[in-house]
Every structure is written in C-alpha cells, then in structure tokens.
Amino acid sequence: MNLNTSILKYIEDVKSGLFTVEEFTAATLQRIKDVDVDVHAYLSLNDSAINDAKLIDQKISSGGKIGRCYGFPISIKDNICITGTKTTCASKILENFVAPYTATVVNRLHAEDAVITGKTNLDEFAMGLTTEFSAFGPTKNPWNLDYVPGGSSGGSAASVAANECLASLGSDTGGSVRNPASFCSIVGLKPTYGLISRYGLISYANSIEQIGPMTKTVKDSAFLLNIIAGQDVNDDTTIDNNNVNYLENIEDGIEGKKIGIIKEMTSSDGLSSEVSTATKDAINDFESLGASCEEVTLPTIHYTVAAYYTIASTEAGSNLARYDNIRYGYELESEGYEYNSYISKSRTKFGPEVTRRIILGGFVPSAGHAGKYFLKALKVKSKLISEVNTAFKKFDYMISPTAPVQPFKFGEKIDDPVTLMLLDYNTVTANLTGKPAISIPYRVVNGLPIGMQIMANSLEEKSLLQAAYALESKTILPEVPL
C-alpha cells in the first residue's frame, strides 16, 4: 500500500474499492510502529483508530451516510484537547492532564468521519522553533534524522512528511505551522485570524495564534479547510466566512496577478545562499505563471520579531498563570507547603524556554516597563497592519522564503536566544497582522527542504490557495528517504 498519497487520492481509492479504510489505517499504524521510534513525531496514539476505521467501512458497505473524510488518518498537535485523551502540550506540568472536552476542530473532523491517529510532539506549550524544547524529547526531521523538523508543530510536520498519516492539525503563533512545514517539505497554512475556532486549543498567545492544516498537497489543505473553518459559538473571536468552498476553482491560476516580493524578508544577507537561490527561482516561476513580480518594502518588519516576542510572552505569562497545580496538573501533595511556595514548586516543572518566556512576559508589561516594551509592541502591530493593508491595495499576494535557512542540526541554534528568535523573521508578520499565509514545499537541496511563503489579504484564503496551487504545479520534489 502506498502511504505517500494525498487525502483526495486516498478518498478516490477508498471510493473505488482499491482498499478499505481499515486496511489503510492498519498500514498507517504499522508505519508508525516502524519509523516513529526514530522520528518521535507522536506523543500518544489513538487506541480506537482501527475500530473507528472499521465502523466507517461498515457505513460504506451498508450504503449509509459517510462524512467527507472517508476515514483518512490525521494526527493532532498535543496542545489541542480531545476528550478522554492526555493533552500534555509536551510539558511535564500537564503530563497527566486528561482533557474533559473536545476542541471544535476535532469535533468537526469526527463529524466528517476522519480517523485520528494520535497526538503529536511540539515545543513545550508551542514556544519554540525546533521542537527541541519538548519535555518528552525532540522530534527528528524525516529528511535527515540529525536535523530539526522545525517547530513548534514539529511532530505534526514530521508525521505527515514521514507518511505516518495524511495530514495534521498544528497551531501557528509566530510561524509554528509554516516553519516546520518548510523544514519538512509539506504544505502548512496559517489562516486569517478568526477563521478557525480556537476552542480547545490550549492558549499560548491568544491574540495572534490560529490552528492550521498541514498536508502533503495544496488541494488537501483546501479540503481540510472546508471541514474545519467557519464561525463557532464557543469562540467569540471567530468570524463568518460565508461558507466559502476553498477547493472550488483552485486551479484557476494567477495570470495577471500582482505579487510583491518583500524586500526585508528576501535580502540576500539575511538568507542562506541556497534559500536565496531558491527564492530567485520561485520568483521566475511565478512570472512564468503569468503574474508580475515587483519588490515591496515594509520597513516596520525590522521591528516585528521584537514586537512579536514582547506581545507573545506577555500573553503567555498570563495564559500560563492558571498552571498552579491546584485544580489539575500532576501529583504533588500540598501538605507542608504554603500557597506561594506550593505554586512556585509546582511550576518548576516548566521547561527552560517556557520559564524564560514567562519571566519575559511578566517583565515587559509590568508597571515600570510597559511603556518601553509592551505598549510600543502594540503600536508596532498597528503600524504594521496599516503598512501591510496599504501594500495589499497594490498587490494580490506577497512572497518570501518561509525560513531564512534550511533545517539545521540539533543543538546548533539553541544556545543564542537572539539567533533563535530571528528564525521567525519571515513568519511573524502574518501573525501580527492576522493575514493568511501558506508555506509550500519548493525544493530539496543537499537533502534538506526549502519552503516558499505566500501571504494574502484577510479572508482571501481561496485566492491564496490558487497561488499556492499554481506554484506547487511547477515544483518537482523527491520522496522522503525514510
């Protein structure tokens, strides 16, 4: 059975009887058994996956109503709640937390008969770019096991890239879907803020993060978006998308469209030479597809990494305050402790990066410092939004490479905090402005993937996917060696 297939092809094959849902699920689970000991994409597996698959097969053979997903296997990042399952955020402090309710996006998948394979690894509480900050060990890049898969949705990206499932749901706060998608050579979409419900997504920076589909192909991304996008009563920040069908007309192409090449994100001294070359080739590809490309400058981008980390850590400091081990958490007898010391002791379970971000998040909005850091960061956000909105008056899309470098080895970047932060340089703009952005796999050089990022204006996912599809049609990529 060929596990290196797309959702749409899989559905076709099940419909035509080439294999059953159970057969494909079993093969997927076997694949996980074979490779995950090396890749470590998964933190936990769904015990009832085969049963769920069998039920769907029964529905198919009895002619009952079947959900649009036809039982395709999908993994879920472990910061998204599913009732009765451990939802750990890759943190020791939630090691034994069993979610008592299910996230809206997972409910929507269940309703359409998707099969959940398991929960995937991440940087602890989604804070990181390499999945090296997981409390349960890092995930390896399926393209080369000595290299990082990107982060924070590293487990999600690796599970798809290694054919351990056909898609995954990750979360993107500063690039956490797009960055690992780029590093693992898959498609990763961060939608417009408010398009996908965050109910059940354990918050890190709630004003800028979104759940995003991670798939092998652009069409699969559109398919998944159709299932999970749309207003949710459980999330006041969701917006009405008028039931757009993202798959429809996805092959329309980009003839006559105007594309802005973001100067600040594509200057050659910020990029590795391989990424720089790939970017130039991608621009040529866009032009050969009939679009016109022109450089655009967005000077505020220079300040976005600082603004992003200031805002994100402030929100994280507040969102993670609830982890005081009193209502849920891990076993620690409170006898002998006084309130403050109990909480501080419990919170020593946070890993080093989360600890640092919480301290930052207490510092930058504090009474004496808010003016210098947090309030300025909010204003950078406002200024960036105006700048980007102005650019979108002229351009249909704006592009850049997703990451300034290719994947690197474990331990290479983790020691210098500023270097690490700057890996987000090309991705945080979409989060701060709330605009949709997608990373598509463009090239593999020396066995290591490079992804291209396309950004569109708010709620323009349909158009964005058309551009992504067009570029994808120009790319020829090798298969993952694993």
Q: Which residues are catalytic?
A: 77, 152, 176
Cα separation, 273 vs 404, in Å, equals 9
**Separation of CA 238 from chain center:** 18
At closest approach, how far in Å is the CB of 408 from another protein? 20
CB closer to another protein, 13 vs 324: 324
User: What tokens were used for 307?
Assistant: 């603004």
3-state SS class at 454: strand
CB closer to another protein, 40 vs 77: 77
Q: What does the DSSP 8-state code read for residue 449? A: E
Q: Starting at the earlier edge strand, list the strands of the sheet with 437-445.
A: 42-45, 115-120, 73-77, 167-172, 210-215, 187-190, 437-445, 448-455, 397-401, 258-262, 292-296
Work out the number of other CB atoms within 10 angstroms of the CB of residue 23.
Answer: 14
CB closer to another protein, 69 vs 81: 81
CB closer to another protein, 34 vs 240: 240
At closest approach, how far in Å is the CB of 331 from another protein? 8
At closest approach, how far in Å is the CB of 97 from another protein? 7
| Measured distance between the N- and C-terminal CA atoms of the chain, rounded to whole angstroms | 16
Secondary structure (DSSP) of 121-159: --SGGG--SSSTT-TT-PPPBTTBTTB---SSSHHHHHH
Cα separation, 136 vs 242, in Å, equals 41
Q: Across the strands, what pairs with 295?
A: 261
CB closer to another protein, 87 vs 141: 87
At closest approach, how far in Å is the CB of 76 from another protein? 12
At closest approach, how far in Å is the CB of 200 from another protein? 5
Contacts made by residues 99-104, CB under 8 angstroms, sequence distance 24+: 99/200, 101/200, 102/200, 103/197, 103/199, 103/200, 103/201, 104/197, 104/199, 104/200, 104/232, 104/234, 104/235
Work out the number of other CB atoms within 10 angstroms of the CB of residue 296.
Answer: 21
| Phi, psi (degrees; rounded to nearest 5) at 203 | -65, 140
At closest approach, how far in Å is the CB of 342 from another protein? 4
Among the listed residues 111, 103, 104, 116, the one whose alpha carbon sits nearest the alpha carbon of residue 72: 116
CB closer to another protein, 32 vs 126: 126
3-state SS class at 296: strand
CB closer to another protein, 75 vs 87: 87
At closest approach, how far in Å is the CB of 399 from another protein? 24
Work out the number of other CB atoms within 10 angstroms of the CB of residue 387.
Answer: 18
